[in-house]
Chain A
Amino acid sequence: MSERMDFARFEALVAAYGATPSRWPEEERAAAQAFARTDPRAEAVLKEADTIDDLLFAHRVAEPSRTLRAMVLESAPRRRRIVGRVRLWWSSIAFGIAAAGGVLAGSAAMAALEPVTANVQLYQHDDLTTFEDTSEENAQ
Protein backbone atom coordinates (compact mmCIF):
# COMPACT_ATOMS: atom_id res chain seq x y z
CA MET A 1 0.00 0.00 0.00
CA SER A 2 1.62 3.31 -1.03
CA GLU A 3 1.27 6.56 0.86
CA ARG A 4 0.17 9.83 -0.65
CA MET A 5 2.98 11.87 -2.12
CA ASP A 6 3.59 15.57 -1.62
CA PHE A 7 4.89 17.99 -4.24
CA ALA A 8 8.36 18.29 -2.75
CA ARG A 9 8.92 14.55 -2.91
CA PHE A 10 7.42 14.28 -6.39
CA GLU A 11 9.69 17.03 -7.64
CA ALA A 12 12.78 15.43 -6.07
CA LEU A 13 11.87 11.99 -7.41
CA VAL A 14 11.39 13.23 -10.97
CA ALA A 15 14.54 15.37 -10.78
CA ALA A 16 16.52 12.25 -9.88
CA TYR A 17 14.91 9.52 -11.97
CA GLY A 18 13.31 11.38 -14.86
CA ALA A 19 9.83 11.47 -16.33
CA THR A 20 9.27 7.78 -17.07
CA PRO A 21 7.26 6.03 -14.33
CA SER A 22 8.91 2.65 -14.97
CA ARG A 23 12.15 4.24 -13.78
CA TRP A 24 10.73 5.49 -10.50
CA PRO A 25 11.46 3.46 -7.35
CA GLU A 26 8.98 0.63 -7.19
CA GLU A 27 7.77 1.40 -3.69
CA GLU A 28 6.87 5.00 -4.64
CA ARG A 29 5.67 4.51 -8.18
CA ALA A 30 1.96 4.22 -7.54
CA ALA A 31 1.91 7.26 -5.27
CA ALA A 32 3.92 9.29 -7.78
CA GLN A 33 1.64 8.29 -10.64
CA ALA A 34 -1.41 9.25 -8.59
CA PHE A 35 0.18 12.62 -7.84
CA ALA A 36 1.00 13.17 -11.51
CA ARG A 37 -2.62 12.48 -12.45
CA THR A 38 -4.16 14.79 -9.90
CA ASP A 39 -1.81 17.72 -9.26
CA PRO A 40 -1.60 20.43 -11.94
CA ARG A 41 1.99 21.29 -10.97
CA ALA A 42 3.17 17.85 -12.05
CA GLU A 43 3.00 18.56 -15.77
CA ALA A 44 5.69 21.24 -15.76
CA VAL A 45 7.98 19.09 -13.64
CA LEU A 46 7.55 16.11 -15.96
CA LYS A 47 8.08 18.23 -19.07
CA GLU A 48 11.40 19.56 -17.76
CA ALA A 49 12.57 16.08 -16.87
CA ASP A 50 11.47 14.74 -20.24
CA THR A 51 13.86 17.04 -22.12
CA ILE A 52 16.76 15.71 -20.07
CA ASP A 53 15.60 12.12 -20.59
CA ASP A 54 15.62 12.73 -24.36
CA LEU A 55 19.20 13.98 -24.14
CA LEU A 56 20.37 11.01 -22.11
CA PHE A 57 18.76 8.49 -24.40
CA ALA A 58 20.30 10.08 -27.47
CA HIS A 59 23.64 8.67 -26.35
CA ARG A 60 24.41 5.40 -28.08
CA VAL A 61 27.29 3.02 -27.54
CA ALA A 62 28.47 0.91 -30.45
CA GLU A 63 27.89 -2.83 -30.19
CA PRO A 64 30.95 -4.86 -29.18
CA SER A 65 33.14 -5.66 -32.17
CA ARG A 66 33.51 -9.20 -33.51
CA THR A 67 37.15 -9.05 -32.47
CA LEU A 68 36.28 -8.27 -28.87
CA ARG A 69 33.65 -11.00 -28.82
CA ALA A 70 36.12 -13.51 -30.25
CA MET A 71 38.78 -12.57 -27.70
CA VAL A 72 36.34 -12.94 -24.81
CA LEU A 73 35.16 -16.33 -26.07
CA GLU A 74 38.74 -17.45 -26.62
CA SER A 75 39.57 -16.62 -23.01
CA ALA A 76 36.93 -19.02 -21.68
CA PRO A 77 38.21 -22.38 -20.39
CA ARG A 78 37.15 -25.34 -22.50
CA ARG A 79 36.01 -28.69 -21.13
CA ARG A 80 37.03 -30.55 -24.33
CA ARG A 81 40.72 -29.81 -23.83
CA ILE A 82 40.73 -32.19 -20.82
CA VAL A 83 39.24 -35.02 -22.89
CA GLY A 84 41.78 -34.30 -25.62
CA ARG A 85 44.62 -34.66 -23.12
CA VAL A 86 43.31 -38.06 -21.92
CA ARG A 87 43.09 -39.30 -25.52
CA LEU A 88 46.60 -38.02 -26.17
CA TRP A 89 47.88 -39.86 -23.08
CA TRP A 90 46.30 -43.15 -24.19
CA SER A 91 47.61 -42.59 -27.70
CA SER A 92 51.14 -42.20 -26.37
CA ILE A 93 50.87 -45.49 -24.43
CA ALA A 94 49.46 -47.29 -27.45
CA PHE A 95 52.11 -46.04 -29.85
CA GLY A 96 54.87 -46.82 -27.38
CA ILE A 97 53.73 -50.43 -27.05
CA ALA A 98 53.22 -50.72 -30.80
CA ALA A 99 56.78 -49.63 -31.34
CA ALA A 100 58.03 -52.19 -28.77
CA GLY A 101 55.72 -55.11 -29.71
CA GLY A 102 55.05 -54.84 -33.43
CA VAL A 103 52.22 -53.73 -35.68
CA LEU A 104 49.64 -56.29 -34.43
CA ALA A 105 49.94 -55.11 -30.84
CA GLY A 106 49.69 -51.53 -32.03
CA SER A 107 46.45 -52.20 -33.95
CA ALA A 108 44.88 -53.95 -30.95
CA ALA A 109 45.89 -51.07 -28.72
CA MET A 110 44.33 -48.51 -31.05
CA ALA A 111 41.10 -50.54 -31.24
CA ALA A 112 41.01 -50.68 -27.45
CA LEU A 113 41.17 -46.89 -27.24
CA GLU A 114 37.50 -46.50 -28.28
CA PRO A 115 35.81 -45.59 -26.01
CA VAL A 116 38.45 -43.76 -24.01
CA THR A 117 37.01 -44.88 -20.70
CA ALA A 118 37.06 -48.65 -21.51
CA ASN A 119 38.60 -50.89 -18.85
CA VAL A 120 41.81 -52.45 -20.15
CA GLN A 121 44.46 -54.80 -18.84
CA LEU A 122 47.96 -55.23 -20.12
CA TYR A 123 49.05 -58.79 -20.79
CA GLN A 124 52.64 -59.88 -21.26
CA HIS A 125 52.65 -62.92 -23.56
CA ASP A 126 56.00 -64.28 -24.81
CA ASP A 127 57.23 -61.70 -27.23
CA LEU A 128 53.85 -60.02 -27.74
CA THR A 129 52.17 -57.39 -25.58
CA THR A 130 48.54 -56.56 -26.02
CA PHE A 131 45.60 -54.62 -24.54
CA GLU A 132 42.49 -56.65 -23.76
CA ASP A 133 39.22 -54.99 -22.96
CA THR A 134 38.05 -56.46 -19.65
CA SER A 135 35.00 -54.23 -19.35
CA GLU A 136 32.61 -57.24 -19.54
CA GLU A 137 34.45 -59.16 -16.80
CA ASN A 138 34.61 -56.09 -14.59
CA ALA A 139 31.11 -54.82 -15.34
CA GLN A 140 29.48 -53.43 -12.22
Chain B
Amino acid sequence: MNSDDPDGDLVRRVGEGDPQAVEALVARKLPRMTALAQRLLGDRAEAEDVVQELFLRVWKSAAAWRPGAARFDTWMHRVAYNLCTDRLRKRREVALPETWDAPDPQPLVDSEISARQQSDAVGRALADLAPRQREAIVLTYYQELPNREAAALMGIGVDALESLLARGRRALKARLEECHE
Protein backbone atom coordinates (compact mmCIF):
# COMPACT_ATOMS: atom_id res chain seq x y z
CA MET B 1 0.00 0.00 0.00
CA ASN B 2 1.29 3.47 -0.93
CA SER B 3 1.22 5.40 2.32
CA ASP B 4 1.64 8.68 0.42
CA ASP B 5 -1.65 8.25 -1.41
CA PRO B 6 -4.63 8.86 0.88
CA ASP B 7 -6.92 7.18 -1.66
CA GLY B 8 -4.74 4.15 -2.39
CA ASP B 9 -6.39 1.64 -0.09
CA LEU B 10 -9.89 2.79 -1.04
CA VAL B 11 -9.16 2.42 -4.75
CA ARG B 12 -7.74 -1.07 -4.18
CA ARG B 13 -10.98 -2.08 -2.46
CA VAL B 14 -13.04 -0.53 -5.25
CA GLY B 15 -11.04 -2.65 -7.69
CA GLU B 16 -11.98 -5.71 -5.65
CA GLY B 17 -15.64 -4.81 -6.02
CA ASP B 18 -16.24 -3.71 -2.44
CA PRO B 19 -19.58 -1.84 -2.57
CA GLN B 20 -18.82 0.14 0.59
CA ALA B 21 -15.55 1.31 -0.92
CA VAL B 22 -17.44 2.40 -4.04
CA GLU B 23 -19.82 4.50 -1.93
CA ALA B 24 -16.95 5.96 0.06
CA LEU B 25 -15.00 6.91 -3.06
CA VAL B 26 -18.04 8.58 -4.59
CA ALA B 27 -18.70 10.50 -1.36
CA ARG B 28 -15.09 11.62 -1.28
CA LYS B 29 -14.58 12.57 -4.92
CA LEU B 30 -17.94 13.43 -6.47
CA PRO B 31 -18.28 16.94 -4.96
CA ARG B 32 -14.67 17.81 -5.75
CA MET B 33 -14.82 16.63 -9.34
CA THR B 34 -18.24 18.19 -9.96
CA ALA B 35 -16.90 21.54 -8.74
CA LEU B 36 -13.84 21.22 -10.98
CA ALA B 37 -15.88 20.43 -14.07
CA GLN B 38 -18.47 23.10 -13.41
CA ARG B 39 -15.88 25.82 -12.91
CA LEU B 40 -13.95 24.81 -16.01
CA LEU B 41 -17.02 24.44 -18.23
CA GLY B 42 -19.36 27.04 -16.73
CA ASP B 43 -22.28 24.71 -17.34
CA ARG B 44 -23.81 22.36 -14.77
CA ALA B 45 -25.32 19.87 -17.19
CA GLU B 46 -22.07 19.48 -19.09
CA ALA B 47 -20.17 19.18 -15.84
CA GLU B 48 -22.43 16.30 -14.77
CA ASP B 49 -21.85 14.55 -18.09
CA VAL B 50 -18.11 14.85 -17.60
CA VAL B 51 -18.30 13.55 -14.05
CA GLN B 52 -20.30 10.51 -15.11
CA GLU B 53 -17.77 9.74 -17.82
CA LEU B 54 -14.96 10.28 -15.33
CA PHE B 55 -16.36 7.72 -12.91
CA LEU B 56 -16.90 5.18 -15.68
CA ARG B 57 -13.17 5.42 -16.27
CA VAL B 58 -12.50 5.13 -12.56
CA TRP B 59 -14.46 1.86 -12.40
CA LYS B 60 -12.58 0.51 -15.41
CA SER B 61 -9.19 1.48 -13.99
CA ALA B 62 -9.61 0.68 -10.31
CA ALA B 63 -8.85 -3.04 -10.58
CA ALA B 64 -5.60 -2.31 -12.41
CA TRP B 65 -4.58 0.66 -10.24
CA ARG B 66 -1.11 0.27 -8.83
CA PRO B 67 0.34 2.68 -6.28
CA GLY B 68 3.23 4.50 -7.83
CA ALA B 69 4.54 7.98 -8.32
CA ALA B 70 1.15 9.54 -9.11
CA ARG B 71 -1.58 9.85 -6.55
CA PHE B 72 -5.06 8.72 -7.50
CA ASP B 73 -6.44 12.24 -7.00
CA THR B 74 -3.87 13.53 -9.48
CA TRP B 75 -4.94 10.88 -12.00
CA MET B 76 -8.61 11.79 -11.55
CA HIS B 77 -7.79 15.45 -12.08
CA ARG B 78 -5.90 14.62 -15.25
CA VAL B 79 -8.79 12.64 -16.70
CA ALA B 80 -11.37 15.26 -15.67
CA TYR B 81 -9.22 18.10 -16.99
CA ASN B 82 -8.76 16.36 -20.36
CA LEU B 83 -12.48 15.62 -20.64
CA CYS B 84 -13.26 19.27 -19.93
CA THR B 85 -10.68 20.71 -22.31
CA ASP B 86 -11.94 18.37 -25.06
CA ARG B 87 -15.40 19.82 -24.59
CA LEU B 88 -14.09 23.37 -24.51
CA ARG B 89 -12.20 22.72 -27.73
CA LYS B 90 -15.36 21.45 -29.41
CA ARG B 91 -17.25 24.54 -28.26
CA ARG B 92 -14.77 26.78 -30.04
CA GLU B 93 -15.34 24.80 -33.25
CA VAL B 94 -19.09 25.25 -33.04
CA ALA B 95 -20.86 28.62 -33.17
CA LEU B 96 -22.26 29.28 -29.72
CA PRO B 97 -25.70 30.77 -29.21
CA GLU B 98 -25.53 34.46 -28.28
CA THR B 99 -27.12 33.85 -24.92
CA TRP B 100 -24.60 31.23 -23.83
CA ASP B 101 -23.37 32.15 -20.38
CA ALA B 102 -23.85 35.82 -21.21
CA PRO B 103 -22.77 38.19 -18.42
CA ASP B 104 -25.54 40.06 -16.68
CA PRO B 105 -25.09 43.78 -17.52
CA GLN B 106 -27.26 44.82 -14.56
CA PRO B 107 -25.03 46.75 -12.16
CA LEU B 108 -25.09 45.52 -8.57
CA VAL B 109 -25.03 47.64 -5.45
CA ASP B 110 -22.59 46.29 -2.86
CA SER B 111 -24.91 46.61 0.11
CA GLU B 112 -27.70 44.75 -1.68
CA ILE B 113 -25.66 41.85 -3.04
CA SER B 114 -26.71 38.57 -1.55
CA ALA B 115 -24.18 35.79 -1.24
CA ARG B 116 -25.91 34.00 -4.09
CA GLN B 117 -25.78 37.00 -6.37
CA GLN B 118 -22.12 37.56 -5.59
CA SER B 119 -21.36 33.92 -6.29
CA ASP B 120 -23.17 34.17 -9.61
CA ALA B 121 -21.28 37.34 -10.50
CA VAL B 122 -17.93 35.69 -9.78
CA GLY B 123 -19.02 32.64 -11.73
CA ARG B 124 -19.77 34.77 -14.75
CA ALA B 125 -16.46 36.61 -14.42
CA LEU B 126 -14.65 33.27 -14.23
CA ALA B 127 -16.45 32.10 -17.35
CA ASP B 128 -15.36 35.30 -19.13
CA LEU B 129 -11.68 34.75 -18.40
CA ALA B 130 -9.30 33.51 -21.04
CA PRO B 131 -9.55 29.71 -20.82
CA ARG B 132 -5.98 29.11 -19.69
CA GLN B 133 -6.27 31.76 -16.97
CA ARG B 134 -9.48 30.15 -15.76
CA GLU B 135 -7.89 26.69 -15.75
CA ALA B 136 -4.92 27.96 -13.74
CA ILE B 137 -7.17 29.59 -11.14
CA VAL B 138 -9.52 26.62 -10.88
CA LEU B 139 -6.73 24.08 -10.47
CA THR B 140 -4.73 26.05 -7.89
CA TYR B 141 -7.35 27.99 -5.95
CA TYR B 142 -10.42 25.86 -6.01
CA GLN B 143 -8.90 22.40 -6.37
CA GLU B 144 -5.88 23.40 -4.25
CA LEU B 145 -3.45 21.40 -6.34
CA PRO B 146 0.21 22.13 -5.62
CA ASN B 147 1.65 24.46 -8.25
CA ARG B 148 3.82 21.76 -9.83
CA GLU B 149 0.84 19.44 -10.24
CA ALA B 150 -1.35 22.15 -11.72
CA ALA B 151 1.42 23.20 -14.11
CA ALA B 152 2.06 19.59 -15.16
CA LEU B 153 -1.65 19.07 -15.86
CA MET B 154 -1.68 22.14 -18.06
CA GLY B 155 1.54 21.13 -19.78
CA ILE B 156 3.40 24.26 -18.73
CA GLY B 157 6.12 25.29 -16.29
CA VAL B 158 5.52 26.84 -12.89
CA ASP B 159 6.63 30.28 -14.13
CA ALA B 160 4.01 30.17 -16.88
CA LEU B 161 1.41 29.00 -14.37
CA GLU B 162 2.18 31.92 -12.08
CA SER B 163 1.91 34.35 -14.97
CA LEU B 164 -1.53 32.95 -15.87
CA LEU B 165 -2.64 33.13 -12.25
CA ALA B 166 -1.56 36.73 -11.82
CA ARG B 167 -3.18 37.84 -15.08
CA GLY B 168 -6.32 35.85 -14.39
CA ARG B 169 -6.74 37.33 -10.94
CA ARG B 170 -6.28 40.88 -12.26
CA ALA B 171 -8.72 40.25 -15.10
CA LEU B 172 -11.29 38.79 -12.71
CA LYS B 173 -11.08 41.83 -10.45
CA ALA B 174 -11.32 44.23 -13.39
CA ARG B 175 -14.35 42.40 -14.77
CA LEU B 176 -16.18 42.52 -11.46
CA GLU B 177 -15.34 46.19 -10.97
CA GLU B 178 -16.83 46.93 -14.41
CA CYS B 179 -20.05 45.25 -13.39
CA HIS B 180 -20.20 47.37 -10.25
CA GLU B 181 -19.70 50.69 -12.00
Contact = CB atoms under 8 A, between A and B. Distances in A.
Interface string A70-81: 011101111110
Contacts, number: 101
Interface stretch (B1-9, B16-24, B79-87): B16-24
Interface string A11-31: 011011110000101100000
Given A16-B162, A16-B166, A68-B51, A26 B17 contact: no
Interface stretch (A34-42, A58-66, A106-114): A58-66
Contacts of B19: 76, 78-80
A76 B126 CA distance: 33
B117 to A, nearest CB: 10
Contact of B147 (A25, A69, A71, A72): A25
B48 A68 contact: yes
B76 to A, nearest CB: 13
A73 B165 contact: no
A56 B30 contact: no
A122 to B, nearest CB: 31
A69 B55 CA distance: 11
Contacts of A58: 115, 118-119, 122
Interface stretch (B67-75, B103-111, B169-177): B169-177
Interface of A: 12-13, 15-18, 23, 25-26, 49, 51-52, 55-56, 58-64, 68-69, 71-73, 75-80
4 closest residue pairs by CB, A with B = A79-B17, A16-B162, A59-B122, A16-B165
